[in-house]
Structure 1
Amino acid sequence: MIRYDLVCSAEHAFDSWFRDSAAYDKAVAAGLVACPVCGSTRVEKALMAPAVAGIDRPAREAPPEARQPVAAADPRREAMIAVLREMKKHVLANADPVGDKFAEEALKIHFGEAEPRSIYGEATAEEARRLIEEGVEFAPLPVLPEEGN
């Protein structure tokens, strides 16, 4: 596991854990890493200092520009998150989970080889591109703030 210091396009600093650097690259490319403050999925790695074991140093406090106060909850943001939460809840309750066979099943439904129905699951970026090329309409489920990064 690796922990990255991240920063969003609005310059909010946060961190997140990933299996490895490839997992980070994949998650960011798929828009799955979101700022916990503003919800932006435009994130990148922040400059990090490596942790060096065996050296006794006093704990350093983050510089003032890195310490950002948590803004008061924006009612519009909270309303949007509530709508996304309800949408996701509805999809999970009313669609069939197909796991990593999402692209395969979506294509079968699209071409009339399977009964039309709502499904959800996982797709790689390559599979998503193929679905788009074939004209299959789909949308990613939102990653909600309580699900963490």
Structure 2
Amino acid sequence: MIRYALKCASGHAFDSWFPSGAAYDALRDAGHLACPVCGSDRVEKAPMAPRVTVGRDRATASEGAPDAQQDAAVPANALSAPPKGELARAIAALRDKIERETENVGARFADEARAIHGGEAPERAIRGEATPHEARALLEDGIPVLPLPFANPKKVN
């Protein structure tokens, strides 16, 4: 496994794990990488420093290292920790409201949105996943879609 620091065209920085460098390249080339903040599929590797340990256990090797203090400051449950800051709390409240008031149709989002728009399915608020190509096609056909300001927690690395 390899961890890459990534950034999107809008400058949002994040990182993700990949089985190999070739796996990263294949996912990027297929358009399957997206920014968790804005959903942009224009994602590139960002500069990063490698972490290498040689012959000592990780705890001993990282003592006093610059990353050791930074890692200690990030709790293991950081993804499930309550949000900090006013913006994070507002996004969390928005997420709760959206999840309560919409139906998750998952990967069927584009098809379901078309069916609702065409009157073939009952009108209701839905959320789900669409590729950037599917989202553009929906918008071009006059079907309103909006990216959510948060990622699916089951798909966050």
Secondary structure in 2 matching 1:139: coil
Residue type at the aligned position of 1:108: A
1:5 deviates by 2.4
Q: Distance in 2 between matches of 1:135 and 1:10?
A: 26
1:46-104 deviations in Å (ceiling 9; x for gaps): 23567789x769x69569xxx8xx9xxxxxx8222212111111111121111110000
Q: Distance in 2 between matches of 1:90 and 1:18?
A: 32
Q: Distance in 2 between matches of 1:10 and 1:126?
A: 18
Q: Does 1:27 align with 2:27?
A: no
Q: Which runs of 5+ in 2 are unaligned?
A: 74-83
Q: Distance in 2 between matches of 1:26 and 1:7?
A: 14
Tell me which residue corresponds to 2:137: 130
TM-score computed with the length of structure 2 as normaliser: 0.58
Q: Distance in 1 between matches of 2:51 and 2:145?
A: 42
* 2:127 maps to which of 120, 129, 148: 120
Q: RMSD of aligned C-alpha atoms?
A: 4.2
Q: Distance in 1 between matches of 2:140 and 2:11?
A: 35
1:10-52 deviations in Å (ceiling 9; x for gaps): 9897633245314456333xx32x4xxxx9x797422356778
Secondary structure in 2 matching 1:142: coil
Secondary structure in 1 matching 2:146: coil
Q: Does 1:79 align with 2:79?
A: no
Residue correspondence of structure 1 range 43-122 to structure 2 within 5 A: 44-48=44-48, 78-122=85-129
Q: Does 1:141 align with 2:141?
A: no
